[in-house]
Amino acid sequence: MDDITTPDDTSEWGPFGRPLFDDPRSRALSRVGVVDVGSNSVRLVIFDGAARSPAYFFNEKIMCALGAGLAETGKLNPKGRVRALAAIRRFQHLARSMGLPPLTAVATAAVREASDGPDFRDEVERETGLRIWVIHGEEEARLSAQGVLLGWPGSYGLVCDIGGASLELAEMAEGRVGKRVTSELGPLKLRDVAGGRDGRKKHIKQVLSDLSSKMGPQPDRLFLVGGSWRAIARIDMARRDYPMKVLHEYRMSGKDVRATIKYIKAHSVEALQAECGISTARMALVPIAAEVLGQLIRTFKPMDIAISSYGIREGMLYEQMPQRLRDRDPLIEACHFSEAKDARLPGFGKTLFHFVMPLFKSAPDAQKRLTKAACLLHDVSWRAHSDYRAEVCFDNVTRANLGGLKHSERVFLGLALLHRYRNKREGTRFEDLYDLLDDKGKKQAEILGKAMRFGAMLWMRKDAQMGTMRWRPKKKLLELQLSPEAAPLFGEVAEARFKSLANAMGAEVLIKLRSK
């Protein structure tokens, strides 16, 4: 496969180019295991699937608190060492039993700073055979930012990664990582700051002021990476009664953050833990992390705030990607992979995309991208029972591990795929999610879904000439001209579905059937 898509490929495959997930260099990344030895937790993640937008084949976390007491003793938490070693031993055994390539292991602030960090690293290698890569703070910031880029190609803004014993900042512009700084503003470290809450507040303000002077103005989006930030986002969702529980790409404003900090102060740790399903170990750090976040917002005044479930582990995967794979759209690559794996006729999604696109010629690029994704996914849930297929489609896409999707875009895709299998969206258990999309978006999703529903009736070879649709918006006229190959497929059900599409568009129809 050529490194650069040719013009012919572009015209054939559309603006996203030929998929790369099956290229040998991409397949080499199809199942990769990463161990992250953090100050608070030790985690194994095994990625699988389309390398550009991988799914989590395996994901296990042990809260070890290696960094607890580090500021006082200068050493790793002894109990945490025992738990971490046991966890890594288990992870290494699992990886070998799965036949994985050698795991990549990285350790951050606690192991980096502890006087017995080298001894712990040697013990892990001696006991398990796994060599841990201990990285400095600025490298941690770079990898976290690369993790964000895996989900948001071309991102710009400020990445803030909080761990148990440190906090890192990294600048992103034009999809590349720029300035990076590190600090000791991790909740485990801050618990030991003298002067109680007032002393901690003063310390946090001073450190963030110093970081701001190094990073300069950062008025764009703030990307939050780390378990403590995700826990605060869960609490924000509960406070707002937000209907979608997917944390990745969840958005907050500075006003939201301030309201949630007050909410945290007004409720007991136990009540918040029960309401939001946050572990005891994580919840213990949330009030201090909230203090940091409040001052972070006051210091940098970001345009808006986005939660990233991708961080250092995904950044390590991104590190292994060739540049041409990094440049690909993670959503489209994942949808190509899903179609190849699960559709009845892999490749027909491209044919369907070209068939429905005349209806969306004037649509913005963001909607054309979602149209492409929907066409690739239109048939991947065919194994579900016909009575539930529409709901399964909506549920899958709104909860799926997909990068590069805002929550409103998840709902758009979900509605389009729901309408692929059913005319009406009322009466489902998802109606509380629909309002994440405006009325125009709902209507466009319905039109796309009904266009796919009709196009699927003309299902033949993946490269078949189905005919053409033409939309004349000024005349409110929807024209259909079927190829000789497709004309015999235009039966009663197909005609009814075409008219349903026209009704959704408020259009009159003109049908031309060619038998020769």
Same domain, 306 and 382: no
Same domain, 244 and 303: yes
8 A C-beta contact, residue 508 and residue 499: no
Q: Summarize pLDDT for 353-384 with one digit per residue, the tens.
A: 999 999 999 999 999 999 999 999 999 999 99
8 A C-beta contact, residue 258 and residue 268: no
509 located within any domain: yes
Q: How confident is the model at residue 4 (pLDDT cuts 50, 70, 90)?
A: very low
Which has the closest alpha carbon to 152: 134, 169, 176, 130? 176
* pLDDT at residue 160 is higher than 90: yes
Specify the pLDDT at position 30.
65
322 located within any domain: no
Backbone angles phi, psi at 161, to 5 degrees: -110, 120
Average pLDDT, the chain: 90
Q: Summarize pLDDT for 254-289 with one digit per residue, the tens.
A: 999 999 999 999 999 999 999 999 999 899 999 999
Q: Which of 253, 279, 313 is the last residue of a domain?
A: 313
46 located within any domain: yes
440 located within any domain: yes
162: left (phi over 0), alpha (psi -120 to 50) or beta: beta
Which two structure tokens, joined as six digits, stand for 190? Answer: 């801050």
Q: Which of 261, 279, 313 is the last residue of a domain?
A: 313
Same domain, 156 and 296: yes
Record the pTM: 0.88
Same domain, 238 and 335: no
Q: How many CA atoms lie within 13 A of 301 on its CB side?
A: 3
Which has the closest alpha carbon to 300: 292, 309, 308? 292
Q: How confident is the model at residue 10 (pLDDT cuts 50, 70, 90)?
A: very low
9 located within any domain: no
144 located within any domain: yes
Same domain, 416 and 477: yes
* pLDDT at residue 140 is higher than 60: yes
* pLDDT at residue 497 is higher than 60: yes
Domain count for the chain: 3
Q: Which domain holds residue 304?
A: 138-313
319 located within any domain: no
Q: Which of 79, 109, 134 is the last residue of a domain?
A: 134
Same domain, 307 and 374: no
What percentage of the chain exceeds 70 in pLDDT?
93
Q: Summarize pLDDT for 289-328 with one digit per residue, the tens.
A: 999 999 999 999 999 999 999 999 999 988 888 888 888 8
Same domain, 374 and 426: yes
Average pLDDT over residues 439-444: 96
Residues in the chain, total = 516
Same domain, 226 and 154: yes
Average pLDDT over residues 67-90: 94
11 located within any domain: no
Same domain, 505 and 369: yes
* 486: CATH: 1.10.3210.10
Specify the pLDDT at position 7.
33
Secondary structure (DSSP) of 311-329 = -HHHHHHHHTS-HHHHTS-
Q: Summarize pLDDT for 202-244 with one digit per residue, the tens.
A: 999 999 999 999 999 999 999 999 999 999 999 999 999 999 9
Residues 76-94 as b/e (b if ≥16 CB within 10 A, e otherwise) read bbeebbebbbebbeebbeb
Q: How far apart are CA 5 and CA 19, in angstroms?
A: 10
Q: How confident is the model at residue 487 (pLDDT cuts 50, 70, 90)?
A: confident
Which two structure tokens, joined as six digits, stand for 506? Answer: 């408020």
